[in-house]
Structure 1
Amino acid sequence: YLVMEFMPGGDLLTYLMQRRVLPKTVVIYAAEVLLALEYLHTHNIIYRDLKPENVLVGPSGHLKLADLGLAKLLKGENGKTLTLCGTDSYLAPEMVMGKPYGKSVDVWAYGCFLFELYAG
């Protein structure tokens, strides 16, 4: 069983498809997700599955990351890993090429996330 806080807005992808979101709100969403990634990276954790479907919208409209099943604790600040995982359209080049990777894969996925957020 999995118990978590109720997020009445559902996932961000569905939320964005059902509503017209103003550009100012998109900037806030981008900042909140960046802060969440920064928190994880400060603790040497890589998320590895950032996409709108894994971001939940709370009752006040604020966002939370969900589905940390692919997250990994790295060994140290510059730790690397090799596992190929995540969603194809968000995979960083180093991951696809089978090279060791670290926090940069989340930065790549964040760029993809931003594009989807702004482009719709």
Structure 2
Amino acid sequence: MNHPNIVQYCDSFEESGWLYIIMEYCDQGDLYTKINKQNGVLMPESLILDYFVQICLALKHIHDRMILHRDIKTQNVFLTSKGRLKLGDFGIAKVLNHTLDLARTCIGTPYYLSPEICENKPYDHKSDIWALGCVLYEMTTLKHAVISIYLYDIIMIVSSLKPVI
């Protein structure tokens, strides 16, 4: 996928039974590390907005191609020295065949799981949007939206949330 906010695939090869994948290098690490290096000092709103827009553009690009990332999290958002954010790690992504298709595999990182996934229901691109909201929350507060060391607790908290309109 050729997009300025997606880590580019360069090449792959197999050697001695091992698969090697060569990807674009993002020299500033990942968003998770940047957030942790803030040491409690909130990031400027303008930077958060810039980052958020860039992640949105990457998600729009893949969703327009009917691809679910399924593992949106700060560890999979990479930074370059030019201020560009790039979405990476498509290892568990899924391509949908039709606009109305739903995925069914319970997969992803606990802190970013949508209610549909927590309830073992079919899901679509909206689960990536939920995870994007979790990333935005993390950028603005420097902590996870749902905090627990136990997967069961996270699932119960997320499953019990009711939408507020």
The letter of the residue matching 2:28 is G
| Contiguous gaps of at least 5 residues in structure 2 | 1-19, 143-165
Secondary structure of 1:2's match?
A: strand
- Give the structure, 1 or 2, with the largest relative contact order (CA under 8 Å, sep 6 or more): 1
Aligned ranges 1:22-61 → 2 under 5 Å:
22-61=44-83
Match of 2:94 among 54, 72, 82: 72
Indicate the residue corresponding to 1:84 in structure 2: 106
Cα distance between partner residues in 1 of 2:92 and 2:117: 14
Measured against aligned partners, the alpha-carbon deviations of 1:1-52 in whole angstroms (never above 9, x if no partner) come to: 1211111100111123225632201100000001111111100001111111
Query: What RMSD in Å do the two structures reach over aligned CA positions?
Result: 1.2
1:13-28 superposed matches below 5 A: 13-19=32-38, 21-28=43-50
Identify the structure with the greater helix proportion. Answer: 1
Write the letter of the residue equivalent to 2:33: T
Q: 2:63 is matched by which residue type in structure 1?
A: H
1:89 deviates by: 1.1
Listed one character per residue, the Cα deviations across residues 70-98 of structure 1 (whole Å, up to 9, x for unaligned) are: 11001111210100000011111111111
TM-score by length of 1: 0.94
Of 113, 130, 139 in structure 2, the residue corresponding to residue 117 of structure 1 is 139
Give the number of aligned pairs: 120
Q: TM-score, normalised by structure 2?
A: 0.69
Structure 1 position 8 matched with structure 2 position 41: no
| Stretches of structure 1 lacking an aligned partner (at least 5 in a row) | none
Residue 67 (structure 1) shift: 0.7
